Structure 1
Amino acid sequence: MKAWVYDEYGAASVLRFDEGFSVPEVKEDQVLVKVVAAALNPVDFKRRQGKFKATDSPLPTVPGYDVAGIVVKVGSQVQNLKEGDEVYGDINEKALENPKQFGSLAEYTAVEEKLLAIKPKNLDFVQAAGLPLAIETAYEGLEKAGFSAGKSILVLGGAGGVGSLVIQLAKQVYGASKVAATSSTGKLEFLKSLGADLPIDYTKENFEELPEKFDVVYDAVGQCEKAVKAVKEGGSVVVLTGPVSPPGFRFVVTSDGAALTKLNPFLESGKVKPIVDPKAPFPFSQVIEAFSYLETGRATGKVVVHPIP
């Protein structure tokens, strides 16, 4: 099969296109997915840069966590999925601990059934591919923070892949009393369109100096030191990246198809919308360009690769 591979850690330039890569074996609890679209996440490039070598799978690596595609083969213990099912999911149960050697930036990938869900009927493969890791991170982080109806939240990095979904989930699924979010000047209207009540331009305002404090601060950008100044007494600060100071807590997603299945009705009703960056999808031949763009930190929503041959 055709796949993108790297044999050493480093910049996007270590990626190479391989036309003769072996199709992964399917274990008893797995299905083989014909990949239609795959999304890129910051964890992909941090892994490629060697940031968690100690717990990584061996090289060579086919990158890619997020997948949307069609089941073409099922293992003997698979119960709920069958050939022909259109599915999506994050293929790595633990993001940083022994992620799969052969990821989603290939024609085929093997995935445990429990990590996948049926693709929402109203979404195409490109939209679905950009959801799993980000929406599961958004949802699990809100759950761990004890978020619930009537509470207020501040989202740092509201226009990004995770942040754009935290805003929507907080508003549409949890019933937040108030959602504030930060972005650069050009993305404030976008934050409003997602449901943010208070868009904050971080180039002009210091959110930590606002008189108003929040029940939960969801830090998707690595500003925990400032985030803890914006949270109410007894509140929570969810930290995805960077150093942690109390009451902040580090959070790394666990992939779970059941969480996607639970959120599917909100996606199918249109209450929660996938956000794909205007530059996407990138064709399969331009995976290096897609990573380079994601690594600028300027993407709005998700960077998706499609079609995959």
Structure 2
Amino acid sequence: MASNNSSTILLPHPDADAATQWAFLEEGLHHMMNEPQKVPYPKYMSLYTVSYNYCTTLKIHGGGKPNEVRDGSFMGRDLYEKVTDFLEKYLDTLKAASESLRDDELLRYYMKEWDRYTAGAQYMNRLFTYLNRHWVKPQRDRGKEGVYPVYILALVQWGTHFLPHIQSDRSKFTRATLRLVERHRKGQEADQTLVKKVVDTLLSLGIDETDLQKTTLVEYQEHFETAFLRATEKHYDAEAENFLAENTLIDYVKKVEEWLRVEGERADRDLDASTKKPLMSTCKGVLIQRHRKRIEEGVQSLADHEEEDVQRMHALLARTSDVLA
């Protein structure tokens, strides 16, 4: 091995074989992913140098098409595949550690590992700048599907290998998030910041294959929004029936106003902006539209001197104009 300027870091010789160079990179990547903030700058630069050498100076010993060897794309593909495999194996360790976790414990673990993983992936993305620029970009420019800059690749791997695993036990990740929302709705202790954090990760995982600068709502809808709206309807259907059984109609109207305000605040605080309209429509459908006849009969039964209550009921009924069919 050849020494760099630091006496403590020995780099593989530029002409070293692929296995030697990758072994050096792999050890550094483990450090980078497990302690992304603690990679010394000399170590980072040594890894950058070796990643560059891997793509540009390695000799090809069989395999690859002649044009791939000439333009370096064969070693770019080889390095990209090794990075992909590294990320999969790293995520396997997270999967094993998540097996016994449930509810808030699972969500806290998910967020802790997400923060560490994405921080490490950002370092990796900079480390493999040459790979991104001279192999990934040309591949994408030629229309190659399933090839991404390293940071996006890391997100794709998380969404492909880790998220489905923690959902495999009857969608336990989604159920954990919804139970957190349910506790908050019932006034019980609940760390609502976890909901916002989970939502943000799911939005980040919505990779737009045609434009990597954009995101889609696919992962967010699949792993949260659809189930959240169903749970919302179920929750408020029961809440409405229980409240009406024990309180007056005008008290119910006031309670519905409060519920709608709380859910509007939840949408603004924790959810993607696209969810607010269907959320409010769901709430108004189950809380107002479903009890519309009863509210209208209540309006007719009120005396003239109860004009304020009549106006309140009319205003509530008017709020269902945008309820989804």
Q: TM-score, normalization: structure 1? A: 0.27
Q: TM-score, normalization: structure 2? A: 0.26
The structure with more radius of gyration: 2
> Which structure dedicates a bigger proportion of its chain to strand?
1
Q: Which has the higher contact order (CA 8 A, sep 6+)?
A: 1
> Which structure dedicates a bigger proportion of its chain to helix?
2
